[in-house]
Structure 1
């Protein structure tokens, strides 16, 4: 009776008009639902690197972008303003959590300085994977995809010592950024491979470079000013090695020092080919990034999470091989390097 009564109150033609309005409203609501579904289904992968300018991280970002496109997910890349900018990375992860990232790939500037924000992300259901640099403790993240940096340091040190022959070593250590596992592992690995311990009289001194060329040059100049007999130089990466070479050349010692490094960028491999660096240990940032994007896409699709440490590999690159140490030449290095 009520429905009949209501229909009788409607003016002629109003029924058709109401049906049209109702249909339009239904379509509008359906459209909103579709938009919300599309938005909800969009998988966001966050990438937070130490800097935007280091060729290693540039390649990592490029690889992540390519893999995200292949997987049909959206990549949001952020970075610290400089190597060591822990606060900048924390802020970037905050933003990615707010943006609804399904997974975050991070190369932490400080291995223990990001534990709180990483826990916040994981508590929110975000998959967090460390790339290149492990956290401390390692299980603060779901998984780590990285070079075995200790082993890379061992490779560098073992080559340097054997290539020096019978020379009594006087070693300079050009370190990266204190507080990062990469810096610690490579430093300690080099000493082990070289066959000396921390505090050994053979170590002439150390300098902090933050992995930068200008600081590598300044640090090397300062160390040479204190001890002109330095004949072996450990460097945290190839930009620092390029700075060290410039300093050695300015002192006229570029041919007298066993300068080695770690990275595998094309510029560094060319420096090995040109005789500026005796050897470098190549790592694979593009592999780390691609594997990370794949893992987030898999997590979004199935809920499956990676775990533990995954070694993405390393190779010693030199054109002056020594017996007993595996290496590849710069021709191979230039085919597999990254950066310009």
Structure 2
């Protein structure tokens, strides 16, 4: 867990072969960079969009666990999905003379102001997910959101085609399309739909990222488009709200739901067919990789400019095999 929580070059690809090593207790410190003794006593700040989502809590825990392992410490700042709070959090961290900042921006366009403030203070920044529209940073830790969404889109398309209906249509509840990862997820999913000849009839963008918000979105979609039989929800906990709306409309037998990211409840939901699957990112590894990029910098070496963490598309065909991996790397459980 985090030590404290304040409420307010060449790409390196993590392959399936290295994935088991990353999830193991030693997490790759010896293999990754020499001189990790330079991490001892360093203080890291993690600025996150909102700790209300399990994804960001798991990423925060990955940072904290890796920092503690090497004698460093971390503090997490909650931006509550507010660009102004995010900047205030950055200014606070800078005023406290932290040694490094890990930033998951509220949106791609809000990151440059934080990067500029950190650059003036000569504090290195690693961006963990979402991305930035400009500014200087040490490393960018990211998944191939387009590829992951395309993968889960293919799963949903196959399920819809297997239902035997003459016409299939889908709705999307997306994360902010001001975020590059939101654009990528939407594009990847729609590529899979286009290839299958499935039409999009509705799209709503999350603002508060809550189950209640998504419940209302999906309730409206089902009312406006009673023929809709597929749904893609682009992050974890809001999927629960979507499923509530589907049950309230008595559509659970005809609606096929695909998700992104993951919470522990998804395993049983995939097994029993409540959802067809999820493109699961691995936020715990985002945290450990982000911390270690800073530790490499402190040791005088240059970390990769871009570090890619794979997305695991989990569906009924592979859930038994993948569950032990995502339990740690996606859900953050021991």
TM-score (norm 2): 0.80
Is the partner of 1:172 in helix, strand or coil?
A: strand
Is the partner of 1:133 in helix, strand or coil?
A: coil
Contact 1:172 1:204 in 2 (8 A): yes
Mapped partners of 1:335, 1:143: distance in 2: 25
Identify the match of residue 144 of structure 2 among 141, 148, 152. Answer: 148
| Greater than 3 Å deviation, 4+ residue runs | none
* Alignment correspondent of 2:200: 203
Q: Is 2:331 the partner of 1:332? A: no
| TM-superposition CA deviations, 1:57-108 (whole Å, max 9, x none) | 1111122111111111121211112xx3121111111111111122111111
Q: Is 2:88 the partner of 1:91? A: yes
Shift in Å, 1:56: 1.0
Identify the match of residue 118 of structure 2 among 121, 126, 133. Answer: 121
Is the partner of 2:257 in helix, strand or coil?
A: strand
Q: Is 2:114 the partner of 1:106? A: no
* Alignment correspondent of 2:173: 174
Mapped partners of 2:195, 2:107: distance in 1: 26
| TM-superposition CA deviations, 1:259-310 (whole Å, max 9, x none) | 00111321223322232211111111111101111121221222x3324321
Shift in Å, 1:231: 0.7
Question: Are residues 57 and 171 of structure 1, via their aligned partners in 2, closer, same or farther at CA, if it must alter by over 3 Å?
Answer: same
Q: Is 2:272 the partner of 1:274? A: yes
* Alignment correspondent of 1:238: 236
Mapped partners of 2:255, 2:99: distance in 1: 48
Contact 2:173 2:206 in 1 (8 A): yes
Contact 1:73 1:297 in 2 (8 A): no
* Alignment correspondent of 1:56: 55
Number of equivalenced pairs: 287
Q: Give matches, 1:16-27, under 5 Å.
A: none
Gaps of 5+ in 1: 1-40, 322-327
Shift in Å, 1:246: 0.8
Is the partner of 2:275 in helix, strand or coil?
A: coil
Contact 2:235 2:259 in 1 (8 A): yes
Contact 1:216 1:239 in 2 (8 A): no
Answer with 288-297 or 261-270: which moved more. 261-270
Is the partner of 2:237 in helix, strand or coil?
A: helix
Q: Give matches, 1:243-262, under 5 Å.
A: 243-262=241-260
Mapped partners of 1:136, 1:154: distance in 2: 24
Gaps of 5+ in 2: 1-39
Contact 1:127 1:305 in 2 (8 A): no
Contact 2:128 2:286 in 1 (8 A): yes
* Alignment correspondent of 1:224: 222
Shift in Å, 1:123: 3.7
Shift in Å, 1:196: 6.0
Alpha-carbon RMSD across the aligned residues, in angstroms, is 2.1
Identify the match of residue 131 of structure 2 among 119, 127, 134. Answer: 134
Mapped partners of 1:207, 1:334: distance in 2: 33
Mapped partners of 1:270, 1:47: distance in 2: 32
Question: Are residues 331 and 247 of structure 1, via their aligned partners in 2, closer, same or farther at CA, if it must alter by over 3 Å?
Answer: farther
Contact 1:272 1:330 in 2 (8 A): no
Is the partner of 1:164 in helix, strand or coil?
A: helix
Whose RCO is larger (CA < 8 A, sep 6+)? 2
* Alignment correspondent of 1:310: 307
Larger Rg: 1 or 2?
1
Mapped partners of 2:85, 2:302: distance in 1: 27
